[in-house]
Structure 1
């Protein structure tokens, strides 16, 4: 029997692909895990369309607050919960608050843990969550997971240390209901090999002219470069800086990474961005460039997630885990 996985805030499926395994990336095979997705959802229509074009199981379009009753029993809960709206409400003792509806979504993940009681959860978020609200928010988030019945640990993982050509730092929070499994778990070891950006970008002769910046944009950047400290041209012999969901709007006066090759500045293509995120080349983005960039930039790198899931399954095996939550 396989481990049953529920995926919240699934986006286009980077986290899910890593949880499943069974894909190729840059000449390396990432073997399939003994897992299956039994529920997946997201509120972004275009991300769901991409997801459903690439997976046999289908993601549900909708607000998780309206879909919770549809979630089946499962062994592992995964999700990169939105964090933009967390704030600390000044009470004694302090508690976790929120500024708008987006901030409430964290509690939906906690509610699923309380109701379904899966054996493990994996939560991913931006590094900035550690310092949010003068470093008060993160301990309260961990406390909420612990109060749901989980032994928790967290780590900042840099994608470039796991065979991915991107310096992307994200916080992973792992929680186990079983103390023995928790004690057996360790975060994946970093790789010695660093993958440079040049391994995943295409030859300039194959790049459409629409990805190059105009001479006017270049001159404007050069004129204001010292003042604005922008023009984030990447060293192709190193991993790329973090790509974001805004790559379609990348300019020479933004913080988004760009390329400077053969004396010309250009944006990445969607496929290059997908490679930088460690998506395999057969993962299709059947949408416009703008929507593809958003989905890619918001995703969890599949190879990074694969490494995390691999160690979770090892921990469950080490403690002779007996499936019961999804029986």
Structure 2
């Protein structure tokens, strides 16, 4: 049965462990419905939102079973879009995972909520020579939405990890609201010494743990260490090295401690599922930033403009960020997705409405950067479970791989790995 619409409620799809839900709720929105297939994630959602209706598979979700809501949000699966697939190639929207965009779109078309917020990997912009993203723009604009997008990095929004993601805001019939949700009117000051954040040392005086200022992007892995992965974030001690704990990963993504720890369950029993779910989650601080701006756009009256007037209006309201932009008709950009010579290269920010489209090189940071440090979410305990510490064999493996690829490591990490490897040789 369709429920009555309230001004600030939202439906969450591909909800995962509730990153969108927590962020929107923190900004005064009320959750009305959740859809998530993964059993572990379902249990996490039910832990925090016992009274919110929860559906499993979006493929068999009937539009009539979804309550009305002003906002829909979600990040359809990225596995078929991610450049991390390497030699396996990217299936894009043709894949069984990322292809779930299509049933999601059909549900959007049946309800046409005021706004839709979507998150995905940056690879969405280039998948199938840019054609997958063109399809998304074409689909959403065909049902009356103005569709803005922007690539942002979590490290500038209060989450201490480098996590670039593309966010899409589709606003029904109003390009000014869509654009203003993702873009401020003024450019911020570009942060400097970005690489230093991976090299500068922060130390916990109590435990002697040392980490960089910013973590590498969390990935949806089991958390196991094999000695082949040098590019993940480790916590270093004078003569030991460990991986991040699930609770620390929660902090990095902006969740409260033990958010994914289920009731009456030993932490060790769910570590793999927690690592995987957290690697797939959205960064809560980024979504909060967007939800705060979206709330303002929903509440404030802003007269819609036609697609013909969109560019001129945006050039007036956002002149500083649109100094250099490209105008095109995205409906005419149909290319062979397998043609290696002719590619559609989408820039990191833009908006499409009807047949009009502009894109430009957008900054991945807000006007005012929100600072954060990795050390602030690192466990200060001196008695952590030994399972989180890597073995001397793994230390040797990491060093061997780093040297063979002529890479460099975070200083304290390298020093600790060398001491561990030497200790093994001495033994």
Fold similarity call, TM over 0.5: yes
The residue number in structure 1 matching 2:16 is: 11
Paired with 2:227 and 2:134, the residues of 1 have a C-alpha distance of 38
Q: Which has the larger radius of gyration?
A: 2
- Separation in structure 1 between the aligned mates of residue 33 and residue 203 of structure 2, nearest angstrom: 32
For the residue of structure 2 that corresponds to 1:246, the secondary structure is coil
Deviation of 1:201 (Å): 8.3
1:294 to 251, 260, 276: 276
Change (3 A) 1:282 1:114: same
Which residue of 31, 34, 41 corresponds with 1:37?
31
Q: Which 5+ residue runs of structure 1 have no aligned equivalent?
A: 22-31, 88-95, 208-234, 322-327
Query: Aligned to 1:283, which of 239, 243, 259?
Result: 259
Alignment match, 2:122: 127
Partner residue of 2:310?
none
Alignment: residue pair count: 273
State the SS of the aligned residue for 1:133.
coil
Aligned residue number for residue 216 of structure 2:
241
Does the 8 A contact of 1:184 with 1:318 survive in 2?
Answer: no
Over 3 Å counting, the alpha-carbon distance change for 1:117 and 1:236 in structure 2 is: same
- Shift of the alpha carbon at 1:97? 7.6
- Unpaired segments of 5 or more residues in structure 2? 1-5, 83-90, 304-427
- CA distance 1:303–1:201, shift in 2 (3 Å): farther
Q: Following TM superposition, by how much is the alpha carbon of 1:290 offset from its aligned partner in structure 2, in angstroms? A: 0.5
Change beyond 3 A, Cα 1:257–1:277? same
RMSD: 3.1
Q: How far apart are 1:264 and its partner, in Å?
A: 1.7
CA distance in 2, matches of 1:120, 1:200: 43
What is the Cα deviation at residue 72 of structure 1?
1.4
Output the CA distance in 2 between the equivalents of 1:101 and 1:304.
28
1:57 partnered with 2:51: yes
Please state if 1:66 is matched with 2:60: yes
How many Å apart are 1:61 and its aligned residue?
4.7
Correspondence for 2:177: 181
CA deviation string 1:7-32 (max 9, x = no partner): 100011011101111xxxxxxxxxx4
1:201 and 1:59, CA in 2 relative to 1: closer, same or farther beyond 3 A? farther
Cα distance in 1 for partners of 2:276, 2:248 equals 14
Shift of residue 158, structure 1, vs aligned partner: 0.4
Q: TM-score, normalised by structure 1?
A: 0.74
The offset of 1:262, in angstroms, is 1.9
Correspondences of 1:1-327 after superposition (within 5 Å): 1-21=6-26, 32-33=27-28, 35-58=29-52, 60-69=54-63, 70-85=65-80, 98-179=93-174, 180-182=176-178, 184-187=180-183, 204=207, 236-254=211-229, 255-281=231-257, 283-286=259-262, 288-319=270-301
Q: Distance in 2 between matches of 1:61 and 1:82?
A: 16
Structure 2 distance, partners of 1:59, 1:291, is: 23
Paired residues of 1:187 and 1:308 also in contact (CA < 8 A): no
Q: Is the 8 A contact 1:86 1:137 kept in 2?
A: no
More strand by share: 1
